[in-house]
Amino acid sequence: MRKKKRSEDSGFNVWRSYSDMMAGVLLLFVLIMCVTLFQAQKSYNESIKERDEKIALQEQYTAEILAQQNALDEKDVKLSSQSEQLDKQKKLLAELAAQLKQQQSDLDEKTSMLATQQKKIDNIIGVKADVIESLQQEFSKNNVSVDIDPQTGALTLNASVLFDYDKAELTEEGKAELSNILPIYCKVLLQGDYKKYLAEIIIDGYTDTDGDYYYNLELSQKRSLAVAEYLTEIRENFLNAQQISELQTYLTVNGHSMANPVLDANGNVDKNASRRVEVKFRLKDDEMIDELNNIMTSENN
């Protein structure tokens, strides 16, 4: 009986040992699987982390590239805008250069014209100065004392000598004075050197400031006309036929009433001096000289 019992116990022990071994193997397998899974999970996590880092780095690179691209695009836009502005500025400079060239051309033309006009002015001024000098010399040579303006050549005659007060008929004394003065004045102006420049021989009558303007206007006109008529009466004594005809072309008579009165040193009207007759001449280009002088004066201002 005892022997049979040991045989059963031995079989049970073998089976238990086998079970223990299989349990150990299973446990080892489980441990290996756990370790493997842990390693796999760790590797997976590291892979995921590496992937995320690469993705983040890629996104950063992409953002930097996009930023650089945007910066380049902005630079391109700026360069394009600057290029357009440069083209506009070049066009504007070209237009300004063309305008400047035209202005320079106009300036050169005006300079040339002014030079020509200045030459004419100098010539006319020279002629006027020569005429005035010739008049002064002729009056001096003939011992005739006259009041002649050294700048304009205007000859002033005292109306108190030529006319009685408030009258327009020449006195004998006035005729005698005119006989000494007018021939010299007209002969100098009508000589060949000056005649081609002559535009007018003018006789202007003036009164003092007393009385009515229109009455004085008529009186001044009658007095200047009386001088002109006396000149036509005596012209044959000192002028040839051609000069007589020319004198009629040049002679102009005006009455100015009480305009342009003569003032004394204190600024008061000198009535005796204001009653006068002026004989003067105008050269053909005197108006041009006055106009150019006005233009130059306005430009300088």
pLDDT digits over 241-254, tens only? 999 999 999 999 99
Read off the tokens for 178.
């005119």
User: pLDDT averaged over the chain?
Assistant: 85
Rg (CA), the chain: 61
Q: How far apart are CA 124 and CA 190, in angstroms?
A: 16
> Strands 251-255, 155-158: parallel, antiparallel or unpaired by DSSP?
unpaired
User: Do residues 274 and 258 make contact, with C-beta atoms less than 8 angstroms apart?
Assistant: yes
Task: Give the global pTM.
Answer: 0.59
Residue 235 DSSP class: G
Model confidence at 72, in pLDDT bands (50, 70, 90)? confident
Phi-psi region of 252 (alpha: psi -120 to 50; beta: other; left: phi over 0): beta
Model confidence at 299, in pLDDT bands (50, 70, 90)? low
Residue 2 has pLDDT above 60, yes or no: no
Q: What is the pLDDT of residue 163?
A: 96
244's CB contacts (< 8 A; 6+ apart) are: 235, 236
Phi-psi region of 42 (alpha: psi -120 to 50; beta: other; left: phi over 0): alpha
User: Do residues 261 and 96 make contact, with C-beta atoms less than 8 angstroms apart?
Assistant: no
Model confidence at 64, in pLDDT bands (50, 70, 90)? confident
pLDDT digits over 220-230, tens only? 999 999 999 99
CB neighbours (10 Å) of residue 35? Answer: 10
Question: Which of the residue ranges 20-24, 82-86, 188-192, 290-294 has the most confident prediction, judged by mean pLDDT?
Answer: 188-192
Residue 184 has pLDDT above 90, yes or no: yes
> How many CA atoms are closer than 13 Å to the CA of 209, on its beta-carbon side?
9
First vs last C-alpha separation in the chain: 158
> How many CA atoms are closer than 13 Å to the CA of 224, on its beta-carbon side?
26
Where are any strands of DSSP class E within the chain? Answer: 147-148, 155-158, 198-206, 251-255, 276-283
> How many CA atoms are closer than 13 Å to the CA of 173, on its beta-carbon side?
8
Percent of the chain, pLDDT > 90? 47
Q: What is the pLDDT of residue 18?
A: 72
Q: How many residues does the chain have?
A: 301
